[in-house]
């Protein structure tokens, strides 16, 4: 016998062969019979090793009913984790019977507190249809229902509106508790597609900044065809080291071939050059190279939760159109009652935050297709606002970091007279030196900061006081396009 033979017959035979002393004839006959059984067993083992079944492990040789029975003792996290072992376990862990049992245990009618998001039809289907569905259906339904219940739980917090910003005050908390993250998908001109995990993020008062570092993973700048930003909602599972199941929501798709020529250089330092592809999207390129250092998105909080989780992987979330009531009595309807909240910040700290109410524009002041709303007048010194820091944009990419001068992020929220978001912007902006006549109010260099898109523009004037070595915002004017105001208020200015 081999030392490693552990079959029951072998153990019994090995013990029998170690009897001592002389043996009678019957014992000798029995010993010969046992020896023949050992030889037969060895011959059988050699035959088994050459058969296909011998290459299967113990789990594969078990009947499918036994394997399913063993896995039925696992919870959702363990069942999801074991599906990553191999193809066999992936198929077993997708069994509808297992996930139907977990679904009923979590959301069944016998639960005292059945979530309102669980449809009665689903529960009825759970009791009559199991294997009739395609493999993995009840796994998908379970995770989808868990996600819907999480959203139902946190949706009421979206109704807590800040009186200063007009936005949900719990946006960051909701996104974190719903386990929302963001992914960047880059496609090169040959059609090769790569999805990249978020490198770092920073939440501000009304926006979030997202960054993906190149590190050789992103294609060459000239070779990038499209960039896609997806919000991803993950299901909270206790499976360390594994990517949790989730759903993708398309938030932005950028055609790089159309934007490469029109991209605006908004700043640089000794290592990188910043290009503004379109509002909210900048790409950092290594100086004198075409390789990508990082890609940075700035997202405004307005409907950020919905945009991050309620779209599909190929179609973005469609914001519902809510028009204010028509007013044919007020001749200035749509021109007054605006409230502006403006934040200037970088990737580390806040530079300035201000709230300006009761902004208006008289009908006679509408010109050049723009409606001007003055928040800070250059002639009114009492409105001039000091900034708490310099206008810079720090960046970091793996082991390297730097700071781009005269550049920061502007997050603007304009509310209409009903205190509803009317125009929301979050985008990097640059500051340029302005050649102006001598100012008798301030001794220092004057700068101009400008932003523009299809809905309007923002003009800011700043001065850097030499003695205090501090910036002051001395003019802030928001210009809305007449088309946007007419469309929103059903007017014809």
Tens digit of pLDDT at every position of the chain (493 positions): 434 443 333 333 333 323 333 344 444 454 455 455 445 545 444 444 444 444 556 667 778 788 888 888 999 999 999 988 888 888 888 988 899 889 888 887 555 445 556 655 455 555 556 666 778 888 988 898 888 888 888 888 898 999 999 999 999 999 999 999 999 999 999 999 999 999 999 999 999 999 999 877 888 998 999 999 999 999 988 888 888 888 999 999 999 988 877 889 999 999 999 999 999 999 999 987 889 999 999 999 999 999 999 999 999 999 888 888 888 899 899 999 999 999 999 999 999 999 999 999 999 999 999 999 999 999 999 999 999 989 999 999 888 999 999 999 999 999 999 999 999 999 999 999 988 666 778 888 999 999 999 999 999 999 999 888 899 999 999 999 999 999 999 999 9
- Within a domain: 204: yes
Residue 321 located in a structural domain: no
Q: For residue 39, what pLDDT is reported?
A: 52
Task: Indicate the pairing of strand 246-255 with strand 264-268.
Answer: unpaired
Residue 131's pLDDT is what? 61
Residues 226 and 207 in one domain: yes
Secondary structure letter of residue 314 according to DSSP:
S
Per-residue confidence (pLDDT) for residue 127, from 0 to 100: 53
SS3 of 386, please?
Answer: strand
Calpha distance 303→171 (Å, rounded): 9
Number of structural domains (the chain) is 4
Assess whether 233 and 376 both reside in one domain.
no
**Domain closes at, from 132, 156, 180:** 156
CA–CA gap between residue 315 and residue 224 (Å, rounded): 21
Contact 180, 232 (CB under 8 A): yes
pLDDT of residue 426: 97
Residue 458 lies in a domain: yes
Q: Are residues 46 and 181 in the same domain?
A: no
Q: Is residue 329 part of a domain?
A: no
CB 425 within 8 A of CB 410: yes
Do 250 and 379 fall into the same domain?
no
Are 226 and 151 contained in the same domain? no
**Whole-model pTM?**
0.82
Q: Pairing state of beta strands 407-415 and 470-481?
A: unpaired
The answer to whether 34 and 42 are in contact (CB under 8 A) is no
For position 1, what pLDDT does the model report? 42
**Rounded-to-integer distance, Cα 16 and Cα 21, Å:** 13
In a shared domain, residues 200 and 275: yes
- Do residues 417 and 429 lie in contact, with contact meaning Cβ atoms separated by under 8 Å? no
Same domain, 70 and 46: no
Angle, alpha carbons 247-173-113 (nearest 5°)? 70
Rounded Cα distance between 409 and 343, Å, is 8
Q: Would you say residue 161 lies in a domain? A: no
> Is beta strand 456-465 parallel, antiparallel or unpaired with respect to 444-452?
antiparallel
DSSP state, residue 168: B
Q: How many CA atoms lie within 13 A of 122 on its CB side?
A: 20
Does residue 197 share a domain with residue 303? yes
Q: Residue 142 maps to which CATH number?
A: 1.20.1280.50
In a domain, 315, yes or no: no
Q: What is the pLDDT of residue 23?
A: 41
Nearest to 151 by CA among 74, 57, 246, 269: 246
CA dist., res. 78 & res. 163, Å (int): 45
Among 156, 190, 216, where does a domain finish? 156
Residue 133's SS3 state is coil
Residue 318 lies in a domain: no
Same-domain check for residues 148 and 276: no
Q: How many CA atoms lie within 13 A of 201 on its CB side?
A: 16
Backbone phi, then psi, for 13, in 5-degree steps?
-65, -45
Cα angle value 363/368/369 (rounded, 5°): 70
Owning domain of residue 453? 338-489
Domain co-membership, 483 together with 346: yes
Same domain, 22 and 81: no
DSSP state of 309: H
| Whole-Å CA distances, 250 to 24, 229, 254, 315 | 87, 6, 11, 6
Taking a C-beta distance cutoff of 8 angstroms, is the pair 7, 41 a contact?
yes
Position 465 in a domain: yes
* CA 240 to chain CA centroid, nearest Å: 19
CA 103, CA 91: separation in Å to the nearest integer?
Answer: 18
């Amino acid at each position: 016998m081999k030392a490693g033979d552990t079959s029951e017959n072998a153990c019994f035979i090995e013990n029998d062969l170690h009897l001592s002393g002389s043996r009678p004839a019957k014992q000798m006959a029995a010993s010969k019979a046992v020896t023949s059984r050992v030889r037969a067993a060895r011959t059988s083992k050699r035959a088994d090793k050459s058969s296909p079944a011998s290459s299967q492990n113990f789990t594969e040789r078990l009947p499918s009913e036994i394997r399913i029975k063993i896995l039925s003792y696992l919870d959702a996290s363990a069942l999801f984790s074991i599906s990553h072992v191999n193809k066999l376990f992936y198929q077993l862990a997708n069994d509808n019977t297992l996930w139907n049992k977990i679904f009923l245990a979590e959301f069944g009618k016998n639960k005292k507190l059945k979530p309102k998001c669980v449809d009665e039809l689903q529960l009825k289907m759970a009791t009559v249809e199991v294997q009739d569905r395609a493999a993995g259906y009840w796994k998908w339904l379970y995770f989808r229902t868990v996600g819907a219940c999480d959203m139902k739980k946190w949706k009421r917090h979206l109704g807590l509106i800040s009186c200063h910003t007009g936005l949900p005050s719990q946006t960051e908390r909701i996104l974190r508790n719903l386990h929302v993250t963001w992914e960047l998908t880059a496609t090169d001109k040959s059609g090769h597609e790569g999805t990249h995990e978020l490198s770092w993020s920073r939440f501000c008062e009304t926006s979030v900044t997202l960054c993906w570092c190149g590190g050789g993973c992103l294609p060459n700048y000239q070779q990038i065809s499209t960039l896609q930003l997806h919000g991803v909602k993950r299901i909270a599972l206790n499976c360390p080291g594994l990517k949790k199941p989730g759903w993708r929501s398309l938030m932005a798709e950028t055609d790089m071939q159309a934007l490469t020529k029109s991209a605006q250089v908004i700043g640089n330092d000794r290592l990188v050059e910043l290009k503004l592809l379109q509002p909210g999207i900048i790409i950092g390129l290594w100086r004198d190279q075409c390789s990508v250092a990082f890609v940075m998105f700035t997202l405004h909080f307005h409907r950020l939760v919905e945009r991050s989780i309620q779209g599909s992987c190929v179609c973005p979330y469609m914001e519902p159109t809510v028009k204010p009531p028509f007013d044919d009595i007020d001749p200035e309807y749509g021109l007054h009652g605006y409230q502006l909240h403006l934040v200037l910040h970088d990737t580390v700290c806040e530079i300035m935050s201000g709230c300006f109410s009761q902004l208006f524009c008289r009908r006679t002041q509408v010109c050049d297709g723009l409606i001007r709303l003055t928040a800070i007048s250059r002639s009114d010194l009492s409105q001039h606002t000091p900034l708490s820091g310099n206008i810079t944009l720090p960046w970091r990419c793996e082991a390297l970091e730097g700071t781009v001068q005269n550049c920061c992020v502007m997050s603007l929220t304009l509310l209409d007279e009903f205190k509803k978001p009317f125009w929301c912007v979050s985008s990097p902006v640059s500051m340029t030196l302005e050649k102006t006549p001598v100012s008798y109010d301030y001794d220092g260099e004057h700068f101009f900061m400008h932003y523009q898109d299809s809905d309007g523009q923002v003009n800011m004037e700043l001065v850097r006081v030499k003695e205090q070595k501090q910036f002051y915002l001395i003019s802030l004017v928001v210009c809305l396009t007449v088309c946007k105001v007419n469309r929103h208020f059903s007017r014809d200015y």
